[in-house]
Every structure is written in structure tokens, then in C-alpha cells.
Chains A and B, each alone.
Chain A
Amino acid sequence: MSWISVFDVLGPNMIGPSSSHTAGAVSMARLARGLAVGKLKRVEFILYGSFARTYQGHGTDRALLGGIMGFRPDDRRIPDSFAIADRIGLEYSFVPDRTETDLHPNTADMVITSEDGRVMRIRGESLGGGKVRITRINEAEVDITGEYETIVVMHEDKPGAAAHITRCLSEAGANIAFMKLFRESRGSMACSVVELDGQIPAKAAEDIRNHPCVRDVMLLRR
């Protein structure tokens, strides 16, 4: 485990009842929201393992929906997230999958449809104590924790793409904490995940977008 703060002991500040099944669910869906593009039309949550068995009693459903709407784990609107989603016209459904057992016990797939018709499938795992990670974006297996400001770049798997990303960042004066490149299991797309010390410079994000290989740039702010 990394360095432990007093606020890792006395925290997170969270809507109950469970750090893994409620707070973690909010966080993973909030990360997924950051990865999706444009206004959301509908979202389907596919729940696995312990999530599939106990999601209602832990409010995992309301937590996931709240996270998709951008709520943080301590947001008091979480218990009312069904009503809030209905009001803003966001469609949602929950599908427990009790057959798939070869996954982390607290896993959800979030199938997000934007108003322009684009569909993204994002997988999150709740690791305990409110910690989470995103392990899949569409066909690419990734590892994103959201503990840093993070830039996720979907790009063609061609030479020069990674160099372009790091050049844009260094020109904007950003300090890279970690950088990982993930390839889709099928196809020719890749996904670069860059975690930064400090904030993402807006200019760097714009510059990264400006390259023929780059399809999408997503920013996960803390």
C-alpha cells in the first residue's frame, strides 16, 4: 500500500453504508462519466460478483447512478439519484450477472450511450476502502485509479503517437507521474493513460487532440 494519510484512516467522508459497495461505486461511475463523451442519454450497469448479489441493500444502484451524474462519494443527493436521473431525462437500468465469476468480486460494466449515439463500455472494480480502478475502456484493458489528474488518449496504434503526447505535455510544463500505453485486444487502436502531478494544462489537452492519430482525449480531474 502507498503512503497512508490520517484521512485514509478517518475517511473517506461518504454516504453509507459500505465503502466498497457504495462509496467505491460512486467513484468508479464518476470516473466512467469523465471518460464518456458529450451529454448522456442512457446507461446500463451490469453488476458482477458481490455487487450482483447485494446491490440493492447497499444502495450500489443509487451510488452508481449518482456517480454517472458526476456526484462525489459524500454527495447527499446520492439516495435520491433515481429521481434526479428521471428529472434530467437520463435513462438507466441495472442487470445483475450472476454467471460470470472470473472477475474481481466488486465489478461493474457501465455501458454508456451519449445523445449523439456513441456507445462506450467501461469496466470498474471497487477495491475496498473506497478505492477503485477502471480496468477496461471498450476493448482496451487499462488501469486507471483517478488518484491523479489523468489524461486518457484513444489513438491509432502507430509510431509517434506517444511521443506526440509527451511532447505536448512537456511543452505545457506538466510533470508526468506515470504513463502507460494499452493496446486493444482486437483492432488497431491504443489507449495511453498519463497521470500527472498537479493539474492538467488546458493547452496540452488541446494540443494532444491536434494530431491525425488521435481520436479522443478524455480528462479526469480530481
Chain B
Amino acid sequence: METDFKNGKELLQLCQEQNCAISEAMKRREWAQGELEPEEGMRRMRKVLKIMKESCRTPLQAPRKSVGGLIGGEARKLNRLREEGKSLCGGMLNRAAAYAMATLEVNASMGLIVAAPTAGASGVVPGVLLAMQDVYGLSDAQLTEGLFNAGAIGYLAMRNATVAGAVGGCQAEVGVASAMAASAAVQLMGGSPGQCLEAASAALMHMLGLVCDPIGGLVECPCQGRNAAGAANALTAAELALAGIRQPIPFDEMLGVMYATGRKLPPELRETAMGGCAAAPSGCRYAKSMGLPCP
């Protein structure tokens, strides 16, 4: 049985020929070509989910200040807004944003997270998946399938473009994470593999050009808020795909566009803390007060 796929087109072909979901195609590739036996691989993915749950939930009860001091407590505030019945965005989006920001808080305070695909973008995928679990009562087994689906999208981005902010800006980190989450969300809602890739393509398109400009070079601000935005974007992109809205630019092309755009970003806007928010007077003042880099 063929298990290899090098791009979205080949992935869709595999899914069609073998009549399987993207998550299943990714699992078959992993078991056939990777080092892990299926049992061990599934155990590891359940551990990934367990760490994600913890990093999404702990800050709602026990917020912690980040090492750099720029963030801490945002997730609890968002959660309280919803609990008090005052949420503007409602249950799904409020939860996804709160969980995404919670994970970045854990990350910035030296807690345990799963890079997805990077530490700086680690909140988007768990944020969306756990919000869906809360709202739709999905099982852990279903979320694990979602993670394999997201993994397929992230693998294609790593293989055919980049997920490094220093190479492609934030669009390569939060943008790709958003595409991963969007695709997983579509599968979990019963969408087809084709719709998953439509959602991933839309998510990348909506975040195209996003720069990486961390204040003081720390993974705190604007990273944390952008994870919430990435989760919101993933839900939007998934909703479009589920509604049957087609994207004129297929996923593979969109990855290429993202990569080419990233390489055209000036170095100041690629994780060097020399441009964007990092160069704003307030961002610079903060960085200087901490002895951190700024222009």
C-alpha cells in the first residue's frame, strides 16, 4: 500500500484511493516509514494531548507571570468574561482564544508545552481542538485523530516551506499552526479531505505576510495574542470550508506563496526583534529596561 505523500495533491489522491481521512493517511505514513510501532505512536500522541490539555487549563486557575514579565493572567480574564455571561464571541471562540493564550502563558513561564509546530505557535492547535471538545463533547480519541490530521498539514509545511519565524515570519509559525488547526477542525466536523485542505489554504491566505517581531526577542508579546488570533482564524477558515466555499488557490500553491513571501520579508521582521512591535517606542522602552535587544 502506498503511504508516501510529498504535497497536498498527493495526500488527497491517497485519501481518495484508500477511502480514508487525512489523519488515517498520516498514521499509515508514520507506521510504514517511521521508527514507531502503531501502539507506541498512539501512546505518544495521547501524551501530546495530555500535555496540551494541562497547558490549556492550568492558567485558568493558577496564572503565572512570564519570565520576561510581559504576560500572565490573560487566559483567566477571558475565561471569567465567558463565565460571567459577558463574552462577545461566545463559547467556541472565547474558549479557543483563552486556551491558546493559556498555552503561551505556560510556555513563557517555563512550563511544559508541545511545540505545534513551534513553541511560539504552540497555543493554536490545542486551543481549537479543546474548545471543540468542550462545545461538541468530542472524545479524546477523536481529538487524537484531529492531531494526526493537523500533523499532516504541518509536515507538508515543514517539507515544502518553513515553520521557522526566523526564515518566514509569524505567518510560518502561527499561520501554519492556524492551517493545521483549521484542517483538523474540518475533519472533526465531518468534512472531506478536500475541504480540510481548502480550510488550510484559506487559513494561510488570511495570515499571509504576518511578521515576527517579538518585543525584546521574547516569546511573549505579540506572540500570545497572535495565537488567539490564529485560533480565531482557524475557526473562520474551517467554517468557510464546511460551508462549501472554494479557494481559488490550492493548498500547495498557498504554501509556496507563504514561503516566497516569508523570504522577501526584511530581516528586521524575522524574529530579530529589530522591527515591527519590537521597534515601537513602548516596545523598545520595555526591552531596554530589561537589557534586551531592540533597535
Contacts and interface: CB of A to CB of B under 8 A. Distances in A.
Residue from A11, A14, A57, A130 with most neighbouring chain B CB atoms (10 Å): A57
A22 interface: yes
A57 B106 contact: no
B200 to A, nearest CB: 13
B219 A53 contact: no
Nearest to A54: B217
Given A10-B45, A17-B110, A54 B218 contact: yes
B115 A19 contact: yes
A120 B159 CA distance: 38
A17 B119 contact: yes
B67 A17 contact: yes
Interface string B219-248: 110000000000000000000000000000
Interface string A1-45: 101111111111111111100110000000000000000000000
Contacts of A50: 217
Nearest to A80: B110
Interface string B148-169: 1011101100110001101000
A128 B113 CA distance: 16
Interface in A113-152: 128-130
A62 interface: yes
Contact of A1 (B33, B113, B158): B158
A10 B114 contact: yes
Contacts of B15: none
A10 B147 contact: yes
Contact of B154 (A10, A15, A17, A62): A10
B147 A16 contact: no
A221 interface: no
Contact of A57 (B68, B113, B154, B158): B68
B107 A16 contact: yes
A79 interface: yes
A78 interface: yes
B48 interface: yes
Interface of B: 26, 30, 33-36, 41, 44-45, 47-48, 51, 66-68, 106-120, 122, 125, 147-148, 150-152, 154-155, 158-159, 163-164, 166, 180, 216-220, 290-293
The 9 closest A-B pairs by CB, nearest first: A16-B107, A9-B154, A6-B151, A17-B219, A79-B110, A57-B68, A57-B218, A54-B217, A9-B151
Interface of A: 1, 3-19, 22-23, 50, 53-54, 56-59, 62, 74, 76, 78-79, 128-130
Given A9-B158, A10-B147, 19 more contacts: A3-B33, A3-B34, A5-B30, A5-B35, A9-B155, A10-B150, A11-B114, A14-B112, A14-B115, A16-B108, A17-B66, A17-B108, A17-B110, A17-B219, A19-B115, A23-B119, A57-B67, A59-B110, A62-B110
